[in-house]
Amino acid sequence: MGKKAVVTGWGKCVPPVALTNADLERLCETDNDWIVERTGIHSRRISHVEGTDLAELAGRRALASAGLEPEDLDLILVATCTPEILCPSVAAMIQERLGAVNAAAFDLNAACSGFVYSTANVTGMIESGFAERVLVIGVEKLHIAMDYRDRSTCILFGDGAGATVYEATDADAGVLSVDIGADGSKGHTMVVQAMGTKGDPYWGKPPEETRLYFEGQAVFKIAVQGIAASAARALERAGLTAEDVDLVIPHQANARIIDAAARRLDIESERVFMNIQDLGNTAAASIPMAISDAADAGRLKPGDVVLLTAFGGGITWGSIVMKWGDRVESVGVHEGELPATDATVWDLLESNLEFYAPLHEDQPPVRR
């Protein structure tokens, strides 16, 4: 039996400032019940620091969880569609900050499918012998691309970071199968034209070309079909069926999408992990954050068959079937935290609201 890629550590970084549904009621024509019914989301987070800072802390926590030092890493791979800057990559900046002097580093952009795509890359590298210990981080600072007067998008997305460590193993555990795919002809359904989230990202850019363009109904239909079909292919390649799955950890896009896809797969809700209610859709960060929460909640047991599945802009999709290894509790804990902030959510959104205001001159002012 050859090497397999198994998860040995996990961590997340959740920004402290929340944007609640009550806050959104003051920003656009919506209400809590409408949001919860359509998305399952009650709150999402707005970061007061750069995404790279979130990624660093999530990465440090995952390394501590795995009992590894930065020098042990062969590769750092960061999945993001909202990098702080384009070059150097977020992964290269993390490599320098951690002191991971033996690690290669690169970013990957497959939007919300980024973590699944990253795991697919890592699986191939570990199985081929190219790498033995890899840190994968998913991070997004999505609030930069939100127009908070547009209820079709602003209710969904939040900021955050999650990380996992994959190691090579000879044991009967690890990634069993991979399915990834794309359909660029439908890429127009989710578009972000802006590049780079550092500092005040709005300078010199027109608002109509900066905010997320999102065709909600079209995305919903494509996502449900895409996730279910991809998951079914991955299970078939692993020689398994939906009945064999102990836990599904999907991209936390929308509770209705997750429920509909699970029904298509004939997997009851008790076997599906969701944390979208407090974090919203964090794109590439959502699955690693959910893995961390599921592990900490005791939802992952040795030998469990775990299905990861995602759908994202591009459009992209992907699924991973893995057998969970022996590690169900963290080896260690990283004690660091993000810098403290006294900023309110309104402080953090001030430049955003000012930038997009010209698109909403015919609407009532924001009620802060």
Q: How crowded is residue 68: how many other Cβ atoms within 10 Å of its Cβ?
A: 20
Q: Would you give the DSSP letter of residue 134? A: E
**Residues 291/57/70/196 CA torsion (nearest 10 deg):** 100
For residue 194, give the H/E element and its range.
Answer: none
Q: What is the percentage of the chain residues whose pLDDT exceeds 90?
A: 82
The tens digit of pLDDT for each residue in 320-334 reads 999 999 999 999 999
Would you say residue 136 has pLDDT above 80?
yes
SS3 call for 317: strand
Do 188 and 337 touch, CB atoms closer than 8 A?
no
Could you list the active site residues?
112, 251, 281
Assigned token pair, 197: 């989230």
Q: What residues does each domain of the chain span?
A: 4-358
The tens digit of pLDDT for each residue in 222-279 reads 888 889 999 999 999 999 999 999 999 999 999 999 999 999 999 999 999 999 999 9
pLDDT at 239: 98
Instruction: State the pLDDT confidence band at 1, using cuts at 50, 70 and 90.
Output: low
pLDDT at 206: 81
Residue of 24, 33, 20, 34 whose CA lies nearest to 367? 24
Alpha-carbon span 194 to 355, nearest angstrom: 13
Q: Provide the CATH topology of domain 4-358.
A: Peroxisomal Thiolase; Chain A, domain 1 (3.40.47)
Alpha-carbon span 115 to 351, nearest angstrom: 30
SS3 call for 254: coil
The tens digit of pLDDT for each residue in 154-199 reads 999 999 999 999 999 999 999 999 999 999 998 988 888 777 888 7
SS3 call for 23: helix
Alpha-carbon span 27 to 365, nearest angstrom: 8
The tens digit of pLDDT for each residue in 32-66 reads 999 999 999 999 999 999 999 999 999 999 999 99
Alpha-carbon span 65 to 275, nearest angstrom: 20
